[in-house]
Amino acid sequence: GATAKALAARGARVFALDLGGAIEKADAVDGVTYVPTDVTDGDQVREAVEQAAGAGVPLRTVVNCAGIGNSSRILSKKGTHDLDLFRKVVEVNLVGTFTVMTVAAEAMATTEPLDDGQRGVVINTASVAAFEGQIGQIAYSASKGGVAAMTVPAARDLASQGIRVMTIAPGIIDTPMMAGVTDEFRAGLAASVPFPKRLGRPDEYAALAVDIVEHDYLNGEVIRLDGALRMSPR
């Protein structure tokens, strides 16, 4: 949400893709059009991208933030990790990201190039869990590790089209998913961050995304946004 608002505030025509239930709860924002989309459904993604690309302005920026993060150990007292759950997390976080990036890149490749032949940028979202996954994060870490690993080959694949690919790997960000935690638990999370000792803010992710859009020599890199956090096993 913060990223959509930040881009819209800079004059971009923003199309926000999310599940219908999430869109129903979203605030109306000038310059932002909500498009009900399941990122695991290629046909829905293509329809949404076609809507954005046909809005009368070139499609130049794509930011992939969709993700789910269920917790389960490989082995526990309840048995083995649910295989369908593992598959679902990878399907949403990794395959969904790949699908949106691929379909959007196809549309971007048809636009008129700017200086240096540039046509746009795709910003994907990994996580510090891609590098230091905690106990119970096997599915989430695998999916986000895949997003991080896609960055260089995607940037190389799309270089001939003038499309950059970057990835942001956030640490602990104070998103609505954190709304239900206690103040004590929140304080403990903040204390684990070397500096600054607080949770990250969604507007800081948005600011970094905008910087990436505007800084056209950034390409093929994963940027950690985590206050130097290195996750412990638990």
Q: Could you give the CA distance from residue 232 to residue 234 in angstroms, rounded to a whole number?
A: 5
Find out whether 140 and 130 touch, Cβ atoms under 8 Å. no
How many CB atoms are closer than 10 A to CB 5? 19
How many CB atoms are closer than 10 A to CB 176? 10
Q: For residue 197, what are the contacts with CB-CB under 8 A and spacing of at least 6? A: 190, 191, 227
11: left (phi over 0), alpha (psi -120 to 50) or beta: left
Q: Which of 34, 140, 205, 217 is catalytic?
A: 140
Q: Can you read off the two tokens belonging to residue 87?
A: 């598959």
Q: Mark whether 217 is an active-site residue.
A: no
3-class state of residue 124 by DSSP: strand
Helix or strand holding residue 142 (H, E): helix 138-158
What letter would DSSP give residue 94? I
Counting beta carbons within 10 angstroms of the beta carbon of residue 154, is it exposed (0 to 12), middle (13 to 18) or buried (19 or more)?
buried
Radius of gyration of the chain (CA): 18
Q: Could you give the CA distance from residue 117 to residue 57 in angstroms, rounded to a whole number?
A: 18
Please give the positions annotated as active site: 140
